[in-house]
A and B are shown apart, each in its own frame.
Chain A
Amino acid sequence: MSTQGRTAESQDAGFARSVAAASGADPLVCLQCRKCTCGCPVAGRVDLRPHELVRLVQLGERDEVLRSRMLWECTSCQTCVTRCPQSVNIPALVDALRQLSRAERKTAATTVVPVFNDVFLGTVCRLGRMYEAGLMASFKVRTGRFFEDLDKLPMMLRKGKLALLPKLVRGGGARKRLFRRAKAAGGKRR
């Protein structure tokens, strides 16, 4: 990605360092060899390909990075970091950027992944385990996607693929404490 035609106004000089601290990955050592993008399963559909994302982080293009759809289309398949000659941990970088994107309310409008994550983790906090039937119901209510995959429901029930009731896991109080403390602790600090 070219460094030409970018203005100082959009650039945040400390961005790369703060993202490095939050993720434990070092975007500054990237060589732009594009090996990450060659192996990326979603490179053909995302607005920023992995090597472009890293370059924009280097350039401090905070807003463009945090508003990117790429953050919510990366499948965390770990192919990029496995092949990177510089060991840039792009999946860790993307996780840190996801959290920053949500904290600054810059999440791409097209994605429902954050809603899913909230419903999923709320379920785990309350029940201790995933409870698909409840998760799907809450997710559908929160997103208005009532009819998606509804056709599969009878078949899934018939094939025993959906439990109707959640399992009860002991230790609810300790679990809630764990979630509360984890939220307060935040991420990596270097």
Chain B
Amino acid sequence: MSHVFYPGCSLESTARDYYLSTHAVARALGLDLPELPDWTCCGSTPAHQESETLALALPAKNLLAARGNTVAVCCAACYGRLKAANHALAHDPRARARVAEVLGADYDGSTPVKHFLEILVREVGLPRLKARATKPLKGLRVAAYYGCLLVRPPEVTQFDDPENPRLLDDLLAAAGAEPVEWPHKTECCGASYSITDAAIVQQLSREILAMARAAGADCIATACGMCQLNLDLRQGDIEKKYGERYQLPVFYFTQLLGLAFGLGPRELGLRSLVVDPARLLAEKGILAGGVPQAVSAGPHGGMSR
């Protein structure tokens, strides 16, 4: 079954570097990731807070359009919503009937949804990733941060062990990095309260940064646009509020894998990271030339189409 890519809204704006690095890694592996035409937003947190029917109908509309393919997703929030819709529509005939009424078409919840991390580790496979990693990330100690929505609820996402997932750790190890053992792999960063109640995000994200540092990590790897934004963009506010200093770069896992593949910083969108990774990458001998300062920001955030 071929893949069709559902980028989700954040990959068009705040997480454009996730978009760039995902496609760069896919290209390097010869993976075809055509975009689902005219995809619409999954509804994210607001939809499930306000209306169960809307929260199922928006993902169902996209999953119906993607029939016959496996939907590849990068954003953990989109992933959670698409998986939740599939689970509800496959198990609850009344929900399915209600959504059919709303969409004007029946959808049975059968379009497979996979996170890009699952595709890399389970389909491409660790041996192939390892063989492609011509510039292994030697000596880079990384805290693999999964967040909530990849792993929970486990019967819905069926991603990995919900309390101690390994998928991202295994991928980082294949890239030559050293994943650290730490207890906050699946703690919540505060998620969508980033805009409405920043104090919650600051409190929760601080716990994650503090634990990553205590575990001896040089940086954090994320697989979610929202987690990355909270830990990276809000890190300065957290340092100010709590009088602490972290300076922990927060990468998308695709950026780290891309570096191990020998891909360039521009291709991987490294310049979009708020906490500058240049010194760390130079120190570890991963990227001697530094991170170029120019970024091509067109009207759509410079996304290449």
Residues of A at the B interface (CB closer than 8 Å) are: 24, 41-42, 45, 72-73, 75-79, 81-82, 95-96, 98-99, 102, 111-113, 116-117, 120-121, 124, 128-130, 132, 136, 139, 148-149, 152, 155-165, 167, 169-171, 174-175, 177-179, 181-183, 185-190
On chain A, the residues within 8 Å of B273 by CB distance are: 159
Nearest-CB residue, chain A, relative to B162? A82
Contact A116 B95 (CB under 8 A): no
Contact B38 A170 (CB under 8 A): yes
Nearest-Cβ distance from residue A88 to partner chain B, whole angstroms: 12
On chain A, the residues within 8 Å of B47 by CB distance are: 121, 124
Identify B53's interface contact among A102, A160, A165, A185, CB under 8 A.
A185
Identify A159's interface contact among B48, B104, B204, B295, CB under 8 A.
B295
On chain B, the residues within 8 Å of A175 by CB distance are: 40
Identify B191's interface contact among A45, A77, A120, A152, CB under 8 A.
A77
Q: How far is the CA of A75 from the CA of B57 in the complex (A)?
A: 22
Contact A130 B49 (CB under 8 A): no
Known: A130-B10, A132-B13, A148-B198. A183 touches B44 (CB 8 A): no
Nearest-CB residue, chain B, relative to A41? B188
On chain B, the residues within 8 Å of A181 by CB distance are: 101-102
Known: A167-B12, A169-B38. A161 touches B196 (CB 8 A): no
Known: A159-B295, A169-B38. A73 touches B103 (CB 8 A): no
Contact B46 A159 (CB under 8 A): no
Residues of B at the A interface (CB closer than 8 Å) are: 9-10, 12-14, 16-17, 38-41, 43-54, 57-58, 61, 92, 94-95, 98, 101-104, 148-149, 152-154, 162, 186-188, 190-193, 195-198, 200, 203-204, 233, 269, 271-274, 295-297, 299-302
Contact A77 B102 (CB under 8 A): no
Q: How far is the CA of A42 from the CA of B191 in the complex (A)?
A: 12
Q: How far is the CA of A188 from the CA of B269 in the complex (A)?
A: 43
